[in-house]
Amino acid sequence: MGEPQQVSALPPPPMQYIKEYTDENIQEGLAPKPPPPIKDSYMMFGNQFQCDDLIIRPLESQGIERLHPMQFDHKKELRKLNMSILINFLDLLDILIRSPGSIKREEKLEDLKLLFVHVHHLINEYRPHQARE
């Protein structure tokens, strides 16, 4: 028997493009040039995007309440948010034990959701600082 055929989880590469980028075509300058940069808007995954959009949009522009001041220490605020998540989670467990059908359960879940959104936002804001270090 022959060796088992290897199956890739990835789709096959686009052969019509690969054939254009041979070593000979590149050396002779016959390989296609890259597409020009996008200047206006574009669609991605069914959503419209503008090229001049901010990478990290402010929370207020997304309709989310800001829990921290405008000027702050990222590490300190992340620690505070982490502690708030822990305390809110313990409160949620207490609510689930005492009265699982209570309306307070939904309120606590919304509080946790807001805290997690803030943590993700602060982490994303901190990324440029990490890249410089």
Structural domain contains residue 71: yes
Structural domain contains residue 50: no
Q: Is the pLDDT of residue 29 over 80?
A: yes
Structural domain contains residue 110: yes
Q: Is 68 helix (H, G, I), strand (E, B) or coil?
A: coil
The whole-number pLDDT of residue 82 equals 96
Q: Is the pLDDT of residue 86 over 70?
A: yes
Number of Cβ within 10 Å of residue 118's Cβ equals 22
The whole-number pLDDT of residue 114 equals 94
CA angle (36 as vertex; 32, 39 as ends), nearest 5: 170
Which residues make Cβ contacts (< 8 Å) with residue 13, sequence separation at least 6? none
Q: How confident is the model at residue 21 (pLDDT cuts 50, 70, 90)?
A: confident
Share of the chain above pLDDT 90, in %: 34
Range of the domain at 120: 60-132
Q: Into how many domains does the chain fold? A: 1
CA distance 112 to 118: 10
Tokens in use for 76?
A: 């300190």
Structural domain contains residue 78: yes
Structural domain contains residue 94: yes
